[in-house]
Amino acid sequence: MSTCVLGVDSSTQSCKALLVDADTGEVLERRRAAHPPGTEVDPAAWSQALHQVTADLLPRASAVAVAGQQHGMILLDEAGRVIRPALLWNDVRSAPQARRLTEHLGGPQEAARRIGSVPVASYTATKVRWVRENEPENARRIAAVALPHDWLTRELSNGDQLWTDHGEASGTAWYDPAARRWLPEIASWAAGHDIALPRLAAPHQAVGTTSSGAVLAPGTGDNAAAALGLGMVPGDVCVSLGTSAVVSVVSETPAQDGTGAVSGFADATGRYLPLATTLNGAPVLDRVARLLGTDHDGLAELALAAPSGADGAVFIPYFAGERTPDLPEARAQLLQMGAGFGRKTLARAAVEGLACSVLEALEKVLDQTGARAQRVLLVGGGAGSGALRTILAGILGRDLEVPDPEEFVALGAARQAAWVLSGATQPPRWSAARTRIVRADPTPGVYERYLEARNRIYPEGSPHT
């Protein structure tokens, strides 16, 4: 009988669990439960979903790990009770506190040197500071702060100790990725007094056991878990195209980007996972398809029927403003339409614009790390677009590997659980996901025209509206 491990992905929208063969990585069973909507959620709802998806699987698992949505904030009092609803990563009310934290750290470049990133509202420290400034009675009660993954790992444990891993810690803004240690003085600045932080676990360190006797692995954040699930190694690049686009690379060296474009996170293996995030991902294709009165297949057919470069038309896909580059007040633009402009060229320009945005993020990550991309993996909902796959490969000028769809975050958590169970110094080697290779047909000049047009309207770093 095979040894099984359990991997959990507690994301913003839902909790997913995979029961996996520890030796081969074969997924044996799956479970899923929804999370409530919103950017402020009672952690009890996450706990309920966790227990729902693991109830019949955990007794069959020899080890378990939880991967969770990064950042976030769960405040605990002296008795370990939750003080107020958790604030999620996508709650932006703490943007002013992010600016104050950057100033407190000595400016953007010094902040990046100390914590690996320039603070933004997503990060835990900014949210705690917001509570201190707006809910002082709650702030005075803070004894400890947990991230969603830390909280859920403790929910599965027989003990009451909070644990986290270095990947999750690097998204709090009170951790130094280069030195791989907490910076408790920043946590004290945020809360107004000293607070307890979770214990830091090594990547393959057991942190307890469950009531069923399963070994409890430390878990990690969702991006680091996805990298584990995909089997990424140094030099591998992942483009995850969902609501936003996230471009990450496994690196041996930390990133310290004072422009704020690249977040210098740690990964779940002892390495680093610098990443850049755009605000505009697959929904760009949804919007343009609706505008053209078609669906995704129809949009792809139109785009691929138009010539490379869309007869000179350029589409800037900033429907939601943009984070990479930092243009929060920018809006989508359609430029340089010629006499032959029509439905096909609009479709092509939209897909090319999204692909160019991804390439800009990729270049920033590679520039920060000095890495050379070995493989480029494309995952997420946007990977289902044939036009995007083809056009992105051409604009990147390199082949793409598109794995078959899978819950890679939960799979990565399961791989970590198997690693801890094995006692080995390296993660287990599982069969790689089946992939299709999209061959690059380079399209020179498209990216250069995109940057020239974008910079004419929205010079990088300008607050244009």
Tell me the catalytic residues: 222
Q: Is the CB of residue 365 less than 8 Å from the CB of residue 265? A: no
Q: Using CA atoms, how far apart are residues 17 and 105, in angstroms rounded to an integer?
A: 39
Provide the b/e sequence for 118-131 (b: ≥16 CB within 10 Å). bbbbbbbbbbbbbb
Tokens 């692909």 found at: 355
Q: Cβ-count burial of 323 within 10 angstroms (0-12 exposed, 13-18 middle, 19+ buried)?
A: buried
The reply to whether 166 sits in an annotated binding site is no
Torsion of CA 258, 281, 124, 44, to 10 degrees: -170
Q: Using CA atoms, how far apart are residues 218 and 319, in angstroms rounded to an integer?
A: 38
Q: Using CA atoms, how far apart are residues 173 and 101, in angstroms rounded to an integer?
A: 9
Other CB atoms within 10 A of residue 27 CB: 16
- Interacting residues of 335 by C-beta distance below 8 A, sequence separation 6+: 313, 314, 315, 316, 453, 457
Other CB atoms within 10 A of residue 455 CB: 12
The reply to whether 71 sits in an annotated binding site is yes
- Interacting residues of 145 by C-beta distance below 8 A, sequence separation 6+: 73, 74, 75, 76, 124, 128, 187, 191, 195, 196, 197
Q: What angle do CA 452, 453, 456 make, to 5 degrees?
A: 85
Q: Using CA atoms, how far apart are residues 434 and 401, in angstroms rounded to an integer?
A: 9
The helix (run of H) or strand (run of E) holding residue 248 is strand 245-249
Torsion of CA 82, 84, 89, 95, to 10 degrees: -140
- Binding site membership for substrate: which residues? 70-71
